[in-house]
């Protein structure tokens, strides 16, 4: 097992009548951002707390670099975590807060200045944290997670409270940390951010992983090789594409939709058959569509479908 890997296997946990985890299993790999998504109550925070040894599982294992977190000698040099936007002492400056954390871990003041710079807090580092915005507190929390220069990072909702500029920064920052070979587990309810940031996705629902797969793979599977073609020769297009195994349906006077053939093959078949076409668009599902489909039966709370208003 790599030093930058989390392996969660068959975690179960109950809180009285609530089954918080019910066989949660997945792997977080080095060099990749793994998005951790799922409806409220799906068990994401509980899983992260179990990985960090803050909650005990009733069954199953959570290994960090091959060991349970609690048996790591210098845990913060293995895993950095942002669980809630940190609430440092309001009267303490960000730099003093980090110096205090660094001291407790036997880390140098040089690391403190390095992580402040990495998260872009240098101009505010000597200001009291009590006046920080939520976005700044998120940056401070990430600086704290990076102090031990860990190969694994676990971030709960890092996009929370970030303004659009902050979101763009966060996306690039998470990608750059993964590019350095670190393993990142990032929980979020913002599907568009996950789609733009994550390589892999663990979808949690009712205490287990409903999917643990590549983002591109999930989107391709949900997109179903559907291609829309605009053509003045609809019957010819239908014949050529049908003969190659595509299921073709007319969707407008000069458009057809083909399923079962990738877009480049559709283009090649039409060109080879001398069928004129002016537009060819591959249907691409969004991660939000993939997510809603996967979690349809797993959401703990769901608004009733609105019924038609009485006239």
Ligand X SMILES: Nc1ncnc2c1ncn2[C@@H]1O[C@H](COP(=O)(O)OP(=O)(O)OP(=O)(O)O)[C@@H](O)[C@H]1O
Based on the shown chain and the rule CB under 6 A, indicate whether residue 58 belongs to the binding site for ligand X: no
Based on the shown chain and the rule CB under 6 A, indicate whether residue 205 belongs to the binding site for ligand X: no
Based on the shown chain and the rule CB under 6 A, indicate whether residue 82 belongs to the binding site for ligand X: no
Q: Which of 20, 24, 270, 298 binds ligand X (CB under 6 A)?
A: 20
Q: Of 12, 88, 23, 44, which is closest to residue 185 (Cα–Cα)?
A: 44
Based on the shown chain and the rule CB under 6 A, indicate whether residue 135 belongs to the binding site for ligand X: no
Based on the shown chain and the rule CB under 6 A, indicate whether residue 18 belongs to the binding site for ligand X: yes
Number of residues that bind ligand X (CB under 6 A): 12
Q: What angle do CA 26, 29, 34 make, to 5 degrees?
A: 70
Based on the shown chain and the rule CB under 6 A, indicate whether residue 35 belongs to the binding site for ligand X: no
Report, in Å, the least distance between residue 187 CB and ligand X: 7
Which positions from 261 through 300 interact with ligand X, judged by CB under 6 A? none
Based on the shown chain and the rule CB under 6 A, indicate whether residue 38 belongs to the binding site for ligand X: yes
**Torsions phi, psi of 67, nearest 5?**
-135, 155
Which range in 44-52, 84-92, 141-149, 212-220 contacts ligand X by CB under 6 A?
A: 44-52
Based on the shown chain and the rule CB under 6 A, indicate whether residue 151 belongs to the binding site for ligand X: no
Nearer to ligand X, 14 or 272 (CB): 14
Q: Which of 8, 24, 28, 44 binds ligand X (CB under 6 A)?
A: 44
Q: Which residues bind ligand X (CB under 6 A)?
A: 15, 18, 20, 38, 40-46, 204
């Amino acid at each position: 097992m790599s030093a930058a890997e989390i392996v969660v296997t068959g975690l179960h946990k109950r809180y009285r009548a609530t089954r918080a985890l019910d066989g949660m299993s997945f792997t977080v790999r080095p060099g990749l951002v793994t998005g951790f998504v799922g409806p409220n109550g799906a068990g994401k925070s509980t899983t992260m707390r179990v990985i960090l040894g803050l909650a005990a599982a009733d069954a199953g294992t959570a290994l960090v670099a091959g060991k349970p977190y609690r048996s790591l000698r210098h845990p913060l040099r293995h895993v950095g975590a942002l669980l809630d936007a940190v609430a440092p002492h309001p009267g303490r400056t960000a730099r003093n807060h980090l110096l205090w954390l660094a001291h407790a871990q036997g880390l140098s003041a040089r690391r403190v200045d390095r992580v402040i710079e990495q998260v872009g807090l240098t101009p505010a580092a000597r200001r009291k944290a009590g006046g920080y915005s939520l976005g700044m507190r998120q940056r401070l929390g990430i600086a704290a997670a990076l102090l031990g220069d860990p190969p694994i990072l676990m971030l709960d909702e890092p996009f929370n409270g970030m303004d659009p500029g902050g979101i763009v920064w966060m996306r690039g920052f998470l990608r750059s940390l993964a590019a350095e070979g670190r393993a990142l587990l990032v929980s979020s309810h913002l599907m568009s951010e996950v789609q733009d940031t994550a390589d892999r996705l663990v979808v949690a629902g009712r205490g287990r992983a409903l999917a643990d797969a590549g983002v591109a793979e999930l989107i391709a599977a949900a997109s179903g090789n559907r291609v829309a073609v605009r053509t003045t020769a609809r019957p010819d297009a239908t014949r050529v594409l049908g003969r190659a195994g595509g299921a073709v349906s007319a969707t407008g006077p000069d458009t057809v939709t083909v399923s079962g053939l990738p877009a480049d093959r559709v283009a090649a078949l039409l060109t080879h058959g001398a069928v004129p076409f002016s537009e060819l668009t591959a249907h691409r599902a969004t991660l939000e569509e993939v997510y809603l489909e996967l979690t349809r039966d797993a959401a703990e709370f769901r608004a009733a479908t609105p019924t038609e208003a009485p006239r």
